[in-house]
């Protein structure tokens, strides 16, 4: 899947104790009813946003991921993540 939009915010790289890294990027889509969407760059992809600046237009390849989590109290919750894996500049 792909999203096209303007980069609104580029977050800092977050590194966790296990060595896992992630970085959040927020884009505003270009459609009739634009959406502000937070994407995650994971591990080896955290640097692919480096050539970009906030305010630039981009086409972003994404994967939508979901998972189930059961709390210690036995309550089931579901989480979704939108993971970016490719970013191209739009002129």
**Assessment of whether the complete model's pTM goes beyond 0.85:** yes
CA 53-48-3 angle, 5° bins: 75
- What total number of domains does the chain contain? 1
In terms of Cα–Cα distance, which of 32, 41, 35 is closest to 3?
Answer: 35
Domain of residue 19, CATH code = 2.40.50.140
Over the stretch 19-55, which tens digit does the pLDDT of each residue have?
A: 899 999 999 999 899 999 999 999 999 999 999 999 9
Structural domain of 73: 2-89
């Amino acid at each position: 899947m792909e999203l096209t939009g303007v980069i609104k915010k580029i977050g800092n790289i977050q590194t966790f104790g296990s060595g896992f890294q992630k970085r959040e990027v927020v884009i505003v889509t270009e459609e009739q009813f634009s959406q502000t969407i937070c994407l995650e760059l994971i591990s080896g992809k955290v640097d692919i946003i480096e050539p970009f600046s906030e305010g630039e237009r981009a086409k972003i390849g994404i994967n939508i991921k979901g998972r189930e989590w059961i709390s210690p109290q036995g309550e089931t919750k579901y989480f979704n993540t939108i993971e970016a894996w490719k970013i191209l500049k739009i002129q």
